[in-house]
């Protein structure tokens, strides 16, 4: 049984209640997390404030950076343990869980190195004045984290906030948060002072809502669905608390007839199958130039048919979905598509021996999905790829920009001019030319436009979001 982690120690929930932790590969309960409430959040916010106004706030930027670097090394020392926790809790195939541990260590390394390189400026102004800007931390930052990449999203969000000097209160997702609790323990071991990092588990409408409405929170980093992003933003507005939102996507992978198909194929498949499609930046729409449409669908279809799905510890191409309701949601998308006459090109296979109670959905490739169909517009959050033909550049741009989202896009073509024309016209926070996701790209600013959210995380850019700019004007002679 787990406990919250507040002030560098495990703390029981004041509710006395627990939420079961389910293994998505088997459907079996194997642990329990505290059902946090407003009193627990309040305790964590007070601990963070005390740290911010006390020992944590007194550290120099270089000292904060050193602690983050130490935490990065500790994460690597506990590599196998953390990968095993993440794999079981999220249902991630072992390789993916191991990649996530590498990523969180890299986030702490990157932000540890960046901590003492964040600074303001001196500004040219009228004679007789010297004007400078300071980049100050917000104070106590709240972090609402989803279940699909608990380690990675903790690393990118909390790593940046700590580097900038904030003290953090984290509300991870009720469906998967064991790794986050373990990281908080490791941070205490690394020497972070009590209250610098606090984790309160629980449901979104209870602990999450209490965090969003707490007047002691100075900034919120929310990663999750667009509808909850709106709710959290509205709730936080009552206290004028700024919110950064990292939301969903319906990201297009745009393939022109002149593309290098051999290079494109494994990348396009991985972009939708990774984490069973439960990735905000999943490449869930495959836009192919009509003259190459059949040839590309043949190749992608053959690759889909070879994909295998099974329990996390079998380490196959695709693991289970996170929970039963998510499995039912994806199945509903597919049955509606079939009912509407949308053809399936290919499906992967469920491995022999996959537990019957696990939440599996095999990868599925569908073709000629009409632009007004929900499969072409809404986030499925499962391994489902919607293929759509296009005629030329203008048509590709029109289709790519036809959803409410704008998170990521990829463009596959050998034509240099087209690469740049397309990259400028597609509305997305990140555009990849002849690649997708750049292997995680911790150094690369990430975030959306439109319903994909606003603000940037990852890279150095994120540090600006975790600070407030203060202007100081000094009048001398």
The residues that touch ligand NAD, with contacts defined as CB under 6 A, are 144-149, 171, 173-174, 204-205, 208-209, 212, 223-225, 228, 231-232, 246-249, 280, 379, 381, 453
Structure tokens at 67: 């602690």
What is the enclosing helix (H) or strand (E) of 223? strand 219-223
| Measured CA distances, 327 to 206, 251, 309, 364 (Å) | 24, 21, 14, 13
By the 10 Å C-beta count (0-12 exposed, 13-18 middle, 19+ buried), 300 is classed as buried
Give the DSSP per-residue string, 293-306.
HHHHHHHHHHHHHT
Cα 21-214-31 angle, rounded to 5 deg: 10
For 53, the 3-state DSSP assignment is helix
Catalytic residue among 86, 109, 174, 246: 246
Q: How many CB atoms lie within 10 A of CB 264?
A: 22
> Closest by alpha carbon to 87, among 146, 44, 170, 149?
149
Q: For the chain, what percentages of helix, strand and coil (3-state, to nearest 5) are there?
A: 45, 20, 35
Cα 275-99-92 angle, rounded to 5 deg: 35
Q: Which residue is nearest to ligand NAD (CB)?
A: 204
Residue placing its CB nearer to ligand NAD in the complex, 70 or 171? 171
Query: Which residues, at least 6 apart from 362, have a Cβ–Cβ distance to it below 8 Å?
Result: 307, 309, 318, 347, 348, 349, 350, 383
Angle between helices 79-90 and 150-163 in degrees, nearest 10: 120
Q: Are 344 and 362 in contact (CB under 8 A)?
A: no
Catalytic residue among 90, 168, 177, 280: 280
For 454, the 3-state DSSP assignment is strand
Cα torsion angle, 168, 147, 250, 253, sign:
positive
By the 10 Å C-beta count (0-12 exposed, 13-18 middle, 19+ buried), 64 is classed as buried
DSSP 368: S
Query: Which residues, at least 6 apart from 11, have a Cβ–Cβ distance to it below 8 Å?
Result: 3, 4, 5, 40, 43
Instruction: Report in angstroms how near the CB of residue 176 gets to ligand NAD at its nearest.
Output: 9
Q: Distance from CA of residue 149 to its chain's centroid? A: 6
Instruction: Report in angstroms how near the CB of residue 295 gets to ligand NAD at its nearest.
Output: 31
> Closest by alpha carbon to 257, among 221, 206, 205, 293?
293
Q: What residues form DSSP beta bridges with 474?
A: 130
| Measured CA distances, 266 to 90, 213, 285, 301, 415 (Å) | 24, 44, 15, 12, 21
280 part of the active site: yes
Describe the strand order of the beta sheet including 343-347 as a list of residue ranges: 343-347, 364-367, 384-390, 285-289, 252-255, 408-412, 430-433
Question: Which residues are the active-site residues?
Answer: 246, 280
């Amino acid at each position: 049984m787990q406990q919250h982690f507040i002030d560098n120690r495990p703390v029981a929930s004041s509710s006395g209640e627990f939420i079961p932790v389910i293994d998505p590969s088997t459907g079996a309960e194997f642990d329990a997390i505290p059902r946090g409430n407003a009193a627990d959040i309040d305790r964590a916010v007070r601990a963070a404030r005390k740290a911010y106004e006390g020992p944590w706030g007194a550290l120099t930027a270089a000292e904060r950076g050193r602690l983050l670097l130490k935490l990065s090394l500790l994460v690597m020392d506990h590599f196998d343990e953390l990968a095993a926790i993440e794999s079981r809790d999220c249902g991630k195939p072992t390789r993916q869980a191991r990649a996530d541990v590498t990523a969180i260590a890299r986030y702490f390394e990157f932000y540890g190195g960046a901590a003492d390189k964040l600074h303001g400026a001196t500004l040219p102004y009228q004679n007789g004045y010297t004007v400078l800007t300071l980049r100050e931390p917000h104070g106590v930052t709240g972090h609402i984290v989803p279940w699909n990449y608990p380690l990675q999203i903790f690393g990118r969000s909390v790593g940046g906030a700590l580097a900038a000097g904030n003290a953090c209160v984290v509300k991870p997702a009720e469906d998967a948060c064991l790794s986050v609790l373990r990281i908080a323990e490791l941070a205490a071991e690394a020497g972070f002072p009590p209250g610098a990092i606090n984790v309160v588990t629980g449901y979104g409408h209870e602990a999450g809502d209490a965090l969003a409405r707490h007047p002691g929170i100075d900034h919120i980093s929310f990663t999750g669905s667009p509808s909850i992003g709106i709710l959290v933003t509205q709730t936080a507005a009552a206290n004028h608390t700024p919110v950064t939102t990292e939301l969903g996507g319906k990201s297009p992978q745009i393939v022109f007839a002149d593309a290098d198909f051999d290079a494109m194929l494994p990348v396009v498949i991985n972009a939708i199958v990774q984490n069973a499609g439960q990735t905000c930046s999943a490449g869930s729409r495959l836009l192919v130039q009509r003259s190459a449409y059949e040839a590309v669908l043949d190749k992608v279809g053959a690759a889909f048919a070879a994909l295998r799905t099974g329990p996390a510890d079998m380490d196959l191409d695709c693991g289970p979905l996170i929970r039963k309701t998510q499995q039912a949601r994806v199945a509903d998308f597919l049955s509606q598509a079939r009912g509407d006459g949308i053809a399936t090109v290919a499906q992967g296979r469920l491995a022999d021996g996959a537990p019957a109670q696990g939440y599996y959905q095999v990868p599925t490739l569908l073709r000629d999905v009409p632009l007004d169909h929900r499969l072409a517009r809404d986030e499925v959050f499962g391994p489902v790829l919607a293929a759509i033909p296009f005629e030329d550049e203008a048509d590709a741009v029109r289709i790519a920009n036809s959803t409410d989202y704008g998170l990521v896009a990829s463009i596959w073509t050998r034509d240099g001019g087209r690469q740049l024309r397309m990259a400028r016209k597609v509305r997305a926070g990140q555009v990849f030319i002849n690649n997708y996701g750049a292997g995680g790209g911790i150094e690369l600013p990430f975030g959306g436009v439109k319903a994909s959210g606003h603000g940037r995380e990852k890279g150095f850019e994120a540090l600006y979001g975790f600070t407030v700019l203060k202007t100081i004007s000094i009048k001398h002679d």
